[in-house]
Structure 1
Amino acid sequence: MRFKGLLLILLFGINSSAQNDQIQENTSLFLIPEFHVGKTIDANDGFPQTKLQTAVILSLGLHNASAKNEWASRLNFPKTGLALAFIDFGNSEKVGQAFTVLPFAEFKWLPRFYLNVGMGVSYMNTLYDEVSNPFNKAITTNLNWSFRSFLYYSVSKQKKMDWRLGVGYFHHSNGHTRLPNQGLNSILASVSAKINTKFDHATIDKPRFDQTSQTYISGRFGFGINTLSKEFNSKKEVYTLAFSIGKIINKTFKFGGGFYYRFYQHYYDYIKNEEELVTEEFPVFLENPFGYASNFGLYGTAELLLGHVGFEFELGLNIHKPFYQIDWKLNEGYSYPTGNGDEMVVVLGELNWYYEIKRTVSSRIGLKYYFINTNHAPKNNIFLGAHINANLGQADFTDLSLGYVYRFDL
């Protein structure tokens, strides 16, 4: 089915749900035990063979159907919660298992259909090793980002329990903190039971909220880590400053734009140490190592505000990132043996049209925790953030941030 058709179905589902003027008030907890079965997709040529992937997941969640939370009403009362998972990738020796913690939100899409999306962290117990596990190039660090997207169908819905079937996607990767980092991707089916803790609910009128728009300004400082290449594969710092201005619509939808500055320790050290590509191709970098290790640009941001939690996506335009020429050459090249012992021939990556796109476009996705509930529209708020930053769609670095938001009067 084409994308336009899917979009029409989605909009129809949302609109049809929105036409109901009454809801059942429900702010109770629920529990979901779930079993996954599926397939781990090969991350690289020669990837270790795997049997069926299996997973056991336990989710604790909260219904948000009430007249108090404007964000919940605007989003048709999604459920939110935390999922704990144990995943076996189908090859205990070479791929291993994962222990995952995943905050999630679940949205009603159509009658009996629910879309569940989550973003969190996993601990992986089996890693790439050049000697003992050279063909698993998917995972090289114990801690990794995890993303999950599932579509559920309610097979048998009763007051106490809701039996569901699901199909979806799971992804794990380290956010470019060590190479290789091919990541693990899985396609899965599931069976689950949503167990409710409260069975009878009062019927209330669906809340009506006035349309609002607030201007905000915000700033953040970020501390990140990344690696440069397989040859320069240690973790080093990336420092970020960013400022933005925009609008918060209906206390739920946050849109804005701004300016970011980043400093890459790996870039700076490569220049200061007068590594090969600097001396041979980019000697001008030696005149100002700090400037050539810097990156700045403009960005637009969109964020869903879910009470204390924000889910954010940014798309940016790099104005200045000169060292990415060396970054690209190091990472997009290849090597092959000469046949003369351990001697290798290294071929550097070419600065082609795809390089130009990735050098220009930046992106960022992650979660924020706000100290004050955004539903109260506080004039001053502080947040902590955890994000993956990317060149176009390929991970660049992982960062933690501390930020401040000031809202002007409604």
Structure 2
Amino acid sequence: MKPRFLFVVFALGLLPAGRATAQEVPAAAPARPGPLIVGAYAQAGFIIAHTPRVRHLVSAHPTGLELNVQRQLNGRQPWHAWYRYPRVGLALVYYDYHNPVLGRSYAASVYLNKLFWERRGQQLSFRMGTGVGYFPRRFDRDTNHKNTFVSSRLNATLQLRAEYDVALSPKLGLLMGVALNHYSNGATAKPNLGINIPTLNIGLNFHQQRAFVPLPEGGGEVAGLGKNFLNLSASAGIKQRNESDTRRYWVNSVTVIGGRRVNRKSNLLVGLEGFYDRSLLAEQRDTTAAGRELIDVKKAGVIVGHELLLGRLAFETHLGIYLYNPYKSNNFYYERIGLKYHFTERLFGTLGLKVHRGSADAIEWRLGVKL
């Protein structure tokens, strides 16, 4: 994941929230949620040949179909107003890669759709989502060794899209869009080169109610604004070292983070964490001469980060620098993106991806407590 993408997410959290002055917890939930939008779109695009190892797979142009349903947020929760009433949605996506090596893929993703411009039946919005993709045909050393894109059937997916909707009738809209779709397994299996697919999209949206009136906003202070907190957490993940070694190795970390809520939408973070990657021990055993002592593979670093707050959910971005790194298996810095969810006021869980210079290192499942 490139640093400039992390900067964009950080900037979104610092943007003013407009007219909203809602409090953290609503007094009572309204009886009716916002209106629904149901869509069906055709997609066509191409695969980016981001490395010579995949050029043999990009001769055909993928085509696909998407079905989705999204809900217009209307103020049932205070954060709806902070982000000027976005939409949340669920999408089912199918691609045919027109290539027997890649076959087809199926994905389900959740997303947030933010309206940026509206005028007389026209809407321009930006959508960002994530989910899970399934590839029936994956890399296999004996039967499908040319598939250097996909080495596991289950993959994470990331979707960025700009959309333009123009009204054909009071409830029917023509949707046109341009998107970037990414699939990767986060190094849980190798090779993990990942697929990047820019697409053009066209289809129809059925609006239950195109224009809507937000619910009245509550007043008062935001709970926790300007206050400090401490997060203690531990993570676990698995990864494959390379194509020839099919074993899975545990990767663990412990993290201590101090944070401060600086506005309604943002927490700023700073902390320390330690890592233990057992795949690096296997790597050393293969490369170190017999009788020589192995180098310590444990690592420790300092991180700074940001949380974009959406109710109980938060989008995390971290940048870290290794302070203790005796076995130089990577760069001196690392990045992380993740989704964090508070089960209670104190207990939270996170699904994150740790990367080195845009290359996935491990998917981390994290559990922690807020003090």
Bin for the TM-score computed over the shorter chain: 0.7 to 0.9
Equivalent-residue separation in structure 1 for 2:262 and 2:20 (angstroms): 23
Q: 1:40 aligns with which of 29, 44, 47?
A: 47
Q: Verify: 1:360 aligned to 2:364, yes or no.
A: no
Match of 1:313 in 2: 317
Equivalent-residue separation in structure 1 for 2:270 and 2:169 (angstroms): 46
Residue 101 of structure 1, CA deviation: 1.5
- Which residues in structure 2 correspond to 1:180-329 (within 5 Å)? 180-198=191-209, 201-202=212-213, 210=221, 212-271=225-284, 275-279=285-289, 283-285=292-294, 292-323=296-327, 325=328, 327=329
Equivalent-residue separation in structure 1 for 2:212 and 2:54 (angstroms): 54
Residue 293 of structure 1, CA deviation: 2.1
Q: 1:103 aligns with which of 87, 103, 110?
A: 110
Equivalent-residue separation in structure 2 for 1:20 and 1:224 (angstroms): 39
Residues 249 and 135 (structure 1 numbering): CA distance in 2 closer, same or farther, change over 3 Å?
same
Residue 175 of structure 1, CA deviation: 0.5
Match of 2:150 in 1: 139
Residue 205 of structure 1, CA deviation: 5.8
- Which residues in structure 2 correspond to 1:164-179 (within 5 Å)? 164-179=175-190
Residue 119 of structure 1, CA deviation: 1.4
Residues 297 and 256 (structure 1 numbering): CA distance in 2 closer, same or farther, change over 3 Å?
same
Equivalent-residue separation in structure 1 for 2:263 and 2:204 (angstroms): 34
Equivalent-residue separation in structure 2 for 1:396 and 1:175 (angstroms): 7
Deviation string for 1:231-262 (max 9, x for gaps)?
Answer: 43421110111111111234431211111111
Match of 2:24 in 1: none
Q: Verify: 1:385 aligned to 2:350, yes or no.
A: yes
Match of 1:336 in 2: none
> Partner amino acid for 2:303?
Y
Equivalent-residue separation in structure 1 for 2:355 and 2:20 (angstroms): 41
Match of 2:133 in 1: 122
Residues 399 and 278 (structure 1 numbering): CA distance in 2 closer, same or farther, change over 3 Å?
same
Deviation string for 1:8-53 (max 9, x for gaps)?
Answer: xx99xx88x94799xxx96233322222111123363552354331
**Contact 1:104–1:119 under 8 Å retained in 2:** yes
Residues 293-302 or 244-253, more deviating: 244-253
Equivalent-residue separation in structure 1 for 2:168 and 2:322 (angstroms): 50
Match of 1:64 in 2: 73
**Contact 1:368–1:384 under 8 Å retained in 2:** yes
Residues 19 and 400 (structure 1 numbering): CA distance in 2 closer, same or farther, change over 3 Å?
closer
Equivalent pairs counted in the alignment come to 343
Secondary structure of 1:181's counterpart equals coil
Q: Verify: 1:83 aligned to 2:91, yes or no.
A: yes
**Contact 1:81–1:103 under 8 Å retained in 2:** yes
Match of 1:338 in 2: none
Residue 277 of structure 1, CA deviation: 2.4
Residues 262 and 293 (structure 1 numbering): CA distance in 2 closer, same or farther, change over 3 Å?
same
Match of 1:397 in 2: 362
- Structure 1: unaligned runs, 5 residues or longer: 287-291, 328-357, 373-379
**Contact 2:131–2:158 under 8 Å retained in 1:** yes
Residues 194-203 or 224-233, more deviating: 194-203
Equivalent-residue separation in structure 2 for 1:304 and 1:317 (angstroms): 22
Equivalent-residue separation in structure 2 for 1:297 and 1:115 (angstroms): 35
Equivalent-residue separation in structure 1 for 2:248 and 2:231 (angstroms): 29
**Contact 2:110–2:131 under 8 Å retained in 1:** yes
Deviation string for 1:40-75 (max 9, x for gaps)?
Answer: 233635523543311212222221122x43322222
Q: More helix per residue: 1 or 2?
A: 1
Match of 2:26 in 1: none
Secondary structure of 1:279's counterpart equals coil
Deviation string for 1:165-199 (max 9, x for gaps)?
Answer: 10010011111112211111111011133323346
Deviation string for 1:101-159 (max 9, x for gaps)?
Answer: 21111112233211101111111111123343332211111111111100001222754
Give the TM-score of the pair, scaled to structure 1.
0.75
Q: Verify: 1:162 aligned to 2:127, yes or no.
A: no
Residues 203 and 136 (structure 1 numbering): CA distance in 2 closer, same or farther, change over 3 Å?
closer
Return the index of the structure with the highest Cα Rg: 1
Give the TM-score of the pair, scaled to structure 2.
0.82
> Partner amino acid for 2:195?
L
> Partner amino acid for 1:277?
T
**Contact 1:70–1:252 under 8 Å retained in 2:** no
Equivalent-residue separation in structure 2 for 1:40 and 1:225 (angstroms): 28
Equivalent-residue separation in structure 1 for 2:72 and 2:110 (angstroms): 14
Runs of 4+ displaced beyond 6 Å:
none
- With a CA cutoff of 8 Å and minimum separation of 6, indicate the structure with the bigger relative contact order: 2
- Structure 2: unaligned runs, 5 residues or longer: 22-31
> Partner amino acid for 1:359?
N
Match of 2:101 in 1: 94
| Percent of residue pairs bearing the same amino acid type | 20
